[in-house]
A and B are shown apart, each in its own frame.
Chain A
Amino acid sequence: MNREKLVSLQELAAMIPDGARLALGGSFLHRGPFALVRELIRQGRRGLEIIKQSPGYDLDLLCRCGVAAKASCGIVALEGPFGIAPWYRKAVEEGNLTLEEHSCATLAAGLRAVVFGVPFQPVAGLHGSDLARVNHWACLPDPYGSGRDTWVIPPVRPDFAVIHAAEVTAAGDARVWGTPNWDRLMTRAAESVLITAERLVQDSFFSERPELTLVPRFLTRGAAVVPHGAWPGSCTPFYGVDYPALEEYLRRPEETFVRAHLAHAPEAATQGTVATREGQT
């Protein structure tokens, strides 16, 4: 199977309907699919549920624009010198975002339940945490008699996993550099996988070292080449965090700023153009 998966960023975002459950790749300011998140806002999407262990700019922007209705996550912050994600905080405090608060590992357990094809997934630790109470999680005795009671987490089932990769093939294989964060688990748990990537490469580039590929093509439903698609975050090895852009994002609460922020993002320059195979490695 070598079906072409390449579409434009707009077409990729259009595959995601209102109310979809989206697992977003990366962590905090690093390698998040931020261009796709902005495109969902431009397209007026509503009622999204975000699943991510450590969202930051992505969930904050979606809350700022009223696009996210629910979030399942472990820690939300802009990290580094910035601390708390202000629009996320406001959305929870004002009751505009339903929060399913996890620990990173319990969210992983929920995803693993789906990946492993079982109705729940045991997880170590958690004893004494109020998270078990607010989430109504169950604690089971060991049926094999160790005496160790173990918390079990229900499935977390994303409709889509959206990840930003370093490289993608036309058939939808994707590779990341550095840590995959939770992207491997997300892409195995989701109903569909959507990829944005810094650059397009030929199959032979991956087939030389197939063990370095994170996402195999048959899992991928669509892919778009989006240079600087993780801006204002980092995408190793291509670029680091754009701290001045984030400072401005935090400093300017006015609504007109968001419009300008979306209009001046790197992907806005290629709006309306279809991803081409130019620049193929």
Chain B
Amino acid sequence: MTEEPFFSLFAHLVIGLARFIRPDEIAFSGVNSTLPMLACLLARQCYNFSFTYLNVAGGVDPEPAHAPLSSSDPILTQGSCSIFANEDFYDLCCRGGMDICFLGAAQVDGKGNTNLSCIGDWHAPKVRLPGGGGAPVMLPTARRAVGWRTEHSPRTLVERLDFTTAAGGLHGLVTPYAVFEKTDGCLALKHWNPAVSPEEIRRRTGFAFDAPQATPSPKPDQRELSALRRLDPEGVFAAGSGIRLWSEEKT
């Protein structure tokens, strides 16, 4: 596995997500969202601009002493001067006030729609998945929604979803290998992890995509890498992020 100073696959995901956040935005990380939680905390530590960080624990610009294992842990309200609770941030998103939110997926198609519900028929599922949580309402209403997937393979990035839990199209999608961004209504390759080739990304992606101006992912700078080390000093998140699937696939 490629290690620092190049991207680890884990760093590619977290930093890739963090780089979608822009100055003065309102950004949100939700339940079951360890990687976006780390991305938002990282962006607050190392980028030269301010933005508002909301999370599902009710935190508003929190300063947690450490990143919790659960992305809905009350630890994520430490240092927060208010509690912006579930009803508040959903309503904010619904009225168009959420600039960027991060949403997970089991399957993503080329338009950036997502399945988090089931594999097989919904009424008689082969696999019942956790469900979409906020996604069916947040994906179409957030100004931009950015997804992530720890397994980049033809069974996760698919031509056709088994079930459309959330439509409306992700603005961005980050994997250990790639960063996609919506162009003309479809996800296009924006960056690839220099650890692999664009051809390998195409082989591993079930949907067709354009790559008109794709470039290798910009190398992480020292501030990004040291912020990530501070957030994950023991490598607990890197080990538990599910990216280990990658090396298994390689063998």
> Which of A128, A130, A177, A180 gathers most chain B CB within 10 Å?
A130
User: What would 18 A/B residue contacts be, using CB atoms closer than 8 Å?
Assistant: A28-B31, A28-B32, A28-B72, A30-B73, A93-B125, A93-B128, A99-B128, A105-B138, A108-B90, A127-B140, A128-B164, A130-B122, A131-B132, A179-B58, A180-B85, A182-B86, A182-B87, A241-B69
Q: Point out which of B57, B122, B134, B167 has the most chain A C-beta atoms below 10 A from its C-beta.
A: B134
Residues of chain B touching chain A, judged by Cβ–Cβ distance below 8 Å, are 31-32, 34, 56-58, 68-75, 77, 83, 85-87, 90, 94-95, 113, 116-117, 122-141, 163-168, 240
Q: Check A75/B132 contact, CB under 8 A, given A54-B31, A105-B94, A128-B167.
A: yes
Closest A residue to B120 by beta carbon equals A93
How far apart sit A105 and B138, CA to CA, in the bound complex (Å)? 9
A139 in the interface (beta carbon within 8 A):
no
Check A179 against B140 for contact (C-beta < 8 Å): no
B134 x A74 contact (CB < 8 A): yes
Chain B nearest CB from A61 CB (Å) reads 16
Give CA–CA (A34, B159) in the complex, Å. Answer: 41
List A residues at the B interface (Cβ < 8 Å).
27-30, 53-54, 73-77, 79-81, 83-85, 88-89, 92-93, 95, 99, 101, 103-106, 108, 123-131, 134, 177-182, 184-185, 234, 236-237, 240-241, 243
With A79-B32, A101-B117 already in contact, the answer to whether A27 and B56 are too (CB < 8 A) is: yes
- A54 neighbours in B (Cβ, 8 Å): 31, 72, 133
Are the CB atoms of B86 and A53 closer together than 8 Å?
Answer: yes
User: What distance in Å separates the Cβ of B156 from its nearest Cβ neighbour in chain A?
Assistant: 15
Complex-state Cα separation, A179 to B129, whole angstroms: 26
B70 touches A129 (CB 8 A): no
- Please report the C-alpha to C-alpha distance between residue A178 and residue B34 in the assembled complex, in whole angstroms: 20
Q: Is the CB of A81 within 8 A of B69?
A: yes
- Report how far A185 CA is from B73 CA in the complex, Å: 21
Which A residue sits closest to B125, measured CB to CB? A93
Q: Is the CB of A76 within 8 A of B87?
A: no
CA distance A178 to B166 in the complex (A): 29
Is B74 touching A128 in the complex (CB atoms < 8 A)?
no
Residues of A near B135 (CB, < 8 A) are: 103
Cβ–Cβ contact A123 & B140, under 8 A:
no
Complexed CA–CA distance, A28 and B132 (Å)? 14
Other-chain contact of B72, A30, A83, A84, A131 (Cβ < 8 Å): A30
* Residues of chain A contacted by B141 (CB below 8 angstroms): 124-125
Residues A241 and B70 in contact in the complex (CB < 8 Å), given A79-B31, A104-B86, A105-B137: yes
Task: Flag if A80 contacts B70 (CB, 8 Å).
Answer: yes
B69 and A30 form a contact (CB under 8 A): no
Q: Would you give the shortest CB distance from A89 to chain B, in whole angstroms? A: 5
Given contacts A130-B163, A134-B122, contact A178 B77 (CB under 8 A): yes
Chain B residues with Cβ below 8 Å from A92 are 125, 128
Chain B residues with CB under 8 A of A108: 86-87, 90
Q: What CA separation (Å) do A129 and B128 show in the bound complex? A: 17
User: Are A30 and B70 in contact, with the CB atoms below 8 A?
Assistant: yes
Contact B31 A130 (CB under 8 A): no
Tell me which of B74, B117, B125, B167 contacts A127 (CB under 8 A): B167
A25: min CB distance to chain B, Å: 11
Beta-carbon contact of A103 and B133 below 8 Å: yes
Whether A76 lies near B130 (C-beta < 8 A) is yes
Contact of A124 with B94 in the complex, beta carbons under 8 Å: yes
Q: Given A80-B34, A103-B133, A104-B133, check contact A234 B128 (CB 8 Å).
A: no
Is B164 a contact partner of A123 (Cβ separation < 8 A)?
no
Q: Give complex CA distance A128, B130 in Å.
A: 19
Q: Which residues of B contact A80 (CB under 8 A)?
A: 34, 68-71, 73
List residues of chain A with CB within 8 A of the CB of B127.
Answer: 89, 93
Are A181 and B133 within 8 A (Cβ)? no
Which of these, B77, B86, B130, B136, contacts A103 with CB under 8 Å? B136
A30-B74 contact given A105-B137, A127-B140, A128-B140, CB 8 Å threshold: yes
Asked whether A75 lies within 8 Å of B31 as measured between CB atoms, the reply is yes
Report the Cα distance A80→B33, complex, angstroms. Answer: 8
Beta-carbon contact of B132 and A234 below 8 Å: no
CB distance from B122 to the nearest CB of A (A): 6
Counting from the closest, the 6 A-B pairs by CB-CB distance are: A128-B167, A179-B58, A75-B133, A124-B94, A125-B137, A236-B74
